[in-house]
Amino acid sequence: MDSLDRTSGELLWEKSVEVPASETPHKMNSFATPTCATDGEIVVAFFGPGGLHAYDLEGKELWNKKLGAFPGPWGVAASPIIDGDLVTPIFIETGERRELVLNGEFGVTAYDPATGTELWFCKGFNGRGAPVPDYAHGQLYVVNGKPGDTYVVKPGGSGDVTSSHMVWNARRKGGRDLPSPVVVGDFVMISSMSGILSAYDAKTGETWYSERLDAPISASPLVANGLVYFQAENGEVIVVKPGKTLDIVARNSVGADSDEIFRATLAPIRGQLFSRSGNAVYCIGK
């Protein structure tokens, strides 16, 4: 784990984590896939079989917790979120209660974030729940890892809510999905790993278009000022204006080397964008 000076890129400190059991992640994965989380005072990093670790901003380790071996050929990818005194996955506020939501192999499951008690489950259309659901309009917008329908779930309820709380579902034509869906106003936008961008009506699920962006995409999109920024694996950033037809506002590149692969989501910090490949970190802006 590294800490860099935001303005110069200078390495401030570096920490290593001992992994008691060997792990060989998938070639598209790395030990840096889970994004660190911070509340401005502590930084939490997740390393799968290496455990969950918390540091202060000077690099002093505050605590660590082993969470198991995480067997399998994929490696870990889930990014932690700091929620008050808890470190959790994604959670939502429904107006009636707080729900911790996980996309999984068979569908979406919500838990009580304080106790871990399962609240409800909605069955999906295919396996691998890698993409994180987006929460908008009081609903969860979900896509599978394997080819399968995208669908919308209204949170709440209890038990199996597949028949009662699934609002709509729509066919996905872009192949396998890794990036998370994003909702901007009345539009749902989803890019497949192969770089096919699809837009849906957020209320009805009507498909507006499915068009090629001519670049593979693994990273989840960033929304800023009503535009959607897609980080392509080749380092190019494709900026799209949501609408019923594909409107590419800009295509920009940091001039990365041909062997660099970008699979991390763009990070906006104080008016600048940070882009990370497997080789380097780029700061874009004034």
Q: Which two tokens stand for residue 215?
A: 């670049």
> In percent, how much of the chain has pLDDT > 90?
47
pLDDT at 217 over 90: yes
CATH number for the domain harbouring residue 25: 2.40.10
Last residue of a domain, one of 45, 67, 83: 83
Q: In whole angstroms, what is the distance from residue 49 CA to residue 62 CA?
A: 19
User: 133: domain CATH number?
Assistant: 2.40.10.480
Which position has the higher pLDDT, 85 or 277? 277
Q: What is the mean pLDDT of the chain?
A: 88
Q: Are residues 52 and 25 in the same domain?
A: yes
Q: Which of 83, 117, 142 is the last residue of a domain?
A: 83
Parent domain of 156 = 89-172
Domain count of the fold of the chain: 2
Residues in the chain: 286
Query: Of the residues 55, 83, 111, which one is the last residue of a structural domain?
Result: 83
Are 6 and 77 in a shared domain? yes
Residue written as tokens 């961008």?
Answer: 197
Instruction: Summarize pLDDT for 90-102 with one digit per residue, the tens.
Output: 788 888 889 989 8
pLDDT in tens, 218-274: 899 999 999 999 999 999 999 999 999 999 999 999 888 888 999 888 988 888 999
3-state secondary structure of 162: helix
